[in-house]
A and B are shown apart, each in its own frame.
Chain A
Amino acid sequence: MKRLAAAAALLLICYGASAEERNPFESNDEAIRIGSLLFAARCAACHGPDAKGNLGPDLTRRWARGESDESAFRIVRNGVPGSSMPPSVAPDDELWAIVAHLRSISVMPQLVTTGDPDRGIALFEKECSGCHQVRGKGGALGPDLTAIGATRSREALVGALRDPSASVALGFRAVKFIAGGERVEGVVKGEDAFSLQVVTADGELEAFPKRGLDGLERSSKSLMPVFDATKLPDAALEDLLAYLGTLRGGQRNP
């Protein structure tokens, strides 16, 4: 911890930053490294070691929503009144370093691919948009992908296409049951001891009392088809990645 403090002090000397609007440490690898240590020591207990949320919210989505480093800085400085998020008295540089770290794990660099985004759009509309929305267009069964290029690395996107069941986010977990004699398949959006809130396979919002359900089956498998090399050859994959890489949501131009 002493090393950490010394490193933070060094940063202060080197940069002498103040509470300005632009993060003085944006894309600064050393500051990002120190920010990650500070985050682990001060923030991870509530926000999770990967900042994806635990008791406190997921912090990795704010940039994709178009929010700035400066607004993140202000929240860390002032806390969130009426919540468990306390204000901080740490020096500005330490807070900017934490913000730089968060941004570095939240915002992916522009995806590099040899593919053609126009061919990618055509592919997307044929194979994906039945379940995924981009800027308000498409189905509702799968996650919205408007900002997917800014929030997922190339490896993560390839993994999600080739092996969609490897990791299924909460809110997209598959369920099957029989209700009123009819077979229902969908993803669970909400649940309590008495009811299930589901988006059905045809994209409708429906809620079911648990008492009336038969044969409730939960699956760890994603409802998304596996896009293996047969279904999506490497060249087509690159085209699709080229299009997905353009989807950077409401993020401001860097």
Chain B
Amino acid sequence: MRVLYLVLSLTASAALAQTGGSAELGISAADIAAGLKDPTRWLTFSGDYSGQRHSPLRQITPRNVRRLVPQWTFQSGTYARGRGFETTPLALDGVLYVTGSNNYAWALDGRTGRPFWEYHRTLPPDLTYGASAPVNRGFGILGDRLFMVTLDAHLLAFDRRSGVVLWDVTLADYRVGYSATLAPLVVDDKVIIGISGGEYATRGFVDAYDPATGNRIWRLYTVPAAGEPGGETWPNVESAARGGGGTWMTGSYDPELGLLYWGTGNPNPNFHGADRRGDNLYTASLLAIEAATGKLRWHYQFTPHDTHDWDSNHVPVLVTLPWQGRDRQVVMVANRNGFFYVLDRATGELLLAKPFTATTWAREIGADGRPIVLNEDGSDGCLPDAWGSTNFNPPSYDPRLRLFFVSARETCASFHAQAPQYVPGQNTVGGVVWADRDRAFGALRAIDVITGKMKWEFRYPQSNLAGVMSTASGLVFSGDQEGNFIAFDAASGQELWHYQTGTSIWGAAAMTYMLDGRQQVLISSGSVLFSFALPD
């Protein structure tokens, strides 16, 4: 096996040498677009642009996964209390590029977990949203540069060999409430980022930057200005200008259509809707954005006029499905509002919407694509709480089984709005959520994407926010709030192996790659990164 991978990597180097011409050596846009074809690499947040987080690797199987053992643990020494170590490492030539909580970052040896370099950003003492969620979800890479966003709402470019910052640009003013936590998505010659801070009087956007200079190429605001299409869904200019719609999870990309798929967050104030009557476009929506220009091609709003903090900051999953006799290019989202959606990704046409958790919120999603809402505030039965039926924690998709795997949260909440004061730098959630903890639990669920029905589930005692990764050998890796990192049989949901990491798997999803002929599986938990493999 070792020989094979050596040959592969030589071939890759030769190919690189031949391309010459382009600005820098290192990773090209074509390498990222190739996704997980090179088994030694993981070059973008979800592994590839599809957001499937499904690895073609087959060394670890349902038969041998019981023998999986830790290879090393990396103690990052930095912790986001009440949150998770949410990163997905990138893997290249045996080196892992890892971001941590509180804007630490490292280059680690994949064989030992030993660091080559460490970066720590000195953060201002008056951080706003960034102080309440001091997390980061990973690097983007292009050439020999790494890209990372910061809690004070900057975008940085690093030299991957030295960890030296090459440029540093401001995305927005953190003092107002902006922050940034996602893994940048590198598409062609652009670094695409989104922004956090929808709990404050902010206005969301998606930006594209020049990887060489840090110059901004385009910006798409997720809340339209007065006079722009969608502006009529806000009562006035003031409410829209502070309307939220954060873009804080990495999107997906269809290179053939040239479209980015990006989720948007809650309208601000989160729970108090009286000051923002209307649908509040384009909050709690999925946006299809032209990567070249930043223009909005289509949108689909999952939760019009949301008053539950049901952000739609999910990883959109792009697949081809046979649909009523013909192949359709679709995008799938399991949403915080409790419904699982399939949409045509060229047009935004809604193909399927089925609940994947218990909810009394809407009877169904109507033929016009709008929810038929029965119970807005939880006064008439349980609603998913403010963390939703699932959250940003990535799902995965097995194309062979046509199963969508998602951590589902069963919760029982009611929502009580209160008018907030709009003070820059102070959060404006605008209300309180009552949740019945005794009626909450979590589950990993496998959804048949053709019918929207649940194929299997594995239940956890508490609701959880673990991400999911699956592999072509028929495994699903996820975790629970109690700290277990768990491998399941993808077809049946049977638990095959687990390892207690010591604290919640929270927000993070596993990644996997080949190193010296052995498949490695990585997960972060608390302040620790774990690497697992089969015994030598």
Contact = CB atoms under 8 A, between A and B. Distances in A.
Interface of A: 1, 5, 40-42, 44-45, 49, 54-56, 79-87, 89-90, 170, 191-194
B126 A5 contact: no
Given A82-B80, A89-B426, A192 B131 contact: no
B480 A82 contact: no
Given A85-B132, A86-B132, A89-B426, A194 B498 contact: yes
Contacts of B500: 192
Contact of B432 (A5, A49, A81): A49
Contact of A55 (B78, B82, B461): B82
Interface residues of B, number: 44
B131 A49 contact: no
B81 A80 contact: yes
Given A85-B131, A87-B131, A193-B459, 11 more contacts: A41-B420, A42-B426, A45-B429, A45-B433, A82-B134, A85-B132, A86-B132, A89-B425, A193-B458, A193-B460, A194-B484
Given A82-B101, A82-B134, A84-B81, A192 B126 contact: no
B432 A87 contact: no
Contact of A193 (B133, B427, B482): B482
B431 interface: yes
B435 interface: yes
B225 to A, nearest CB: 27
Q: Which 4 residue pairs spanning A and B have beta carbons closest together?
A: A192-B482, A83-B81, A84-B82, A86-B131
Contacts of B80: 82-84
10 contacts: A1-B419, A84-B82, A86-B128, A86-B132, A89-B425, A89-B426, A191-B461, A192-B483, A193-B461, A193-B486
Given A49-B432, A192-B461, A86 B427 contact: yes
A87 B126 contact: yes
A193 B495 contact: yes
Nearest to B135: A84
A55 B431 CA distance: 15
Contacts of B482: 191-193
Contacts of A1: 418-421
B299 interface: no
Contacts of A87: 125-126, 131
B370 interface: no
Contact of A84 (B83, B420, B429, B483): B83
Contacts of A79: 131
Nearest to B421: A1
Contact of B480 (A40, A55, A80, A192): A192
Interface in B405-448: 416, 418-421, 425-427, 429, 431-435, 437
Chain B CB within 10 Å — which of A45, A81, A83 has the most? A45
Tell me what chain B mostly uses at the interface: helix, strand, loop, or mixed.
Answer: loop
B79 interface: yes
A192 B79 CA distance: 23
B301 interface: no
B498 A54 contact: no
Contacts of A86: 127-128, 131-132, 427
B102 interface: yes
Nearest to A54: B435
Interface string B61-102: 000000000000000001111110000000000000000011
A187 B411 CA distance: 24
Nearest to B134: A82
A40 B421 CA distance: 13
Nearest to B199: A45
A82 B460 CA distance: 27
Given A82-B101, A84-B81, A87-B126, A41 B461 contact: no
A170 B440 CA distance: 13
Contact of B79 (A45, A82, A191): A82
Contacts of B431: 45
B133 A45 contact: no
B484 A193 contact: yes
B113 to A, nearest CB: 22
Contacts of B480: 192-193
A190 B519 CA distance: 34
A166 to B, nearest CB: 14
A84 B133 contact: yes
A83 B82 contact: yes
A192 B460 contact: yes
Nearest to A44: B432
Contacts of A81: 131
Given A82-B134, A89-B425, A192 B101 contact: no
B405 to A, nearest CB: 16
Nearest to A78: B125
Contacts of B495: 193-194
Given A1-B420, A84-B133, A56 B82 contact: yes
Contacts of A80: 81
Chain B CB within 10 Å — which of A55, A89, A90 has the most? A55
A90 to B, nearest CB: 8
A86 B80 CA distance: 12
A196 to B, nearest CB: 10
B150 to A, nearest CB: 15
Nearest to A191: B461
A83 B130 CA distance: 10
A36 B433 CA distance: 16
A5 B426 CA distance: 14
Contacts of B425: 89
A170 B133 CA distance: 27
A94 to B, nearest CB: 11
A83 B500 CA distance: 23
A5 B421 contact: yes
A82 B134 CA distance: 7
A41 B418 contact: yes
Contacts of B102: 82
Contacts of B483: 192
A49 B461 contact: no
Nearest to A188: B461
A40 B419 CA distance: 11
A54 B433 CA distance: 9
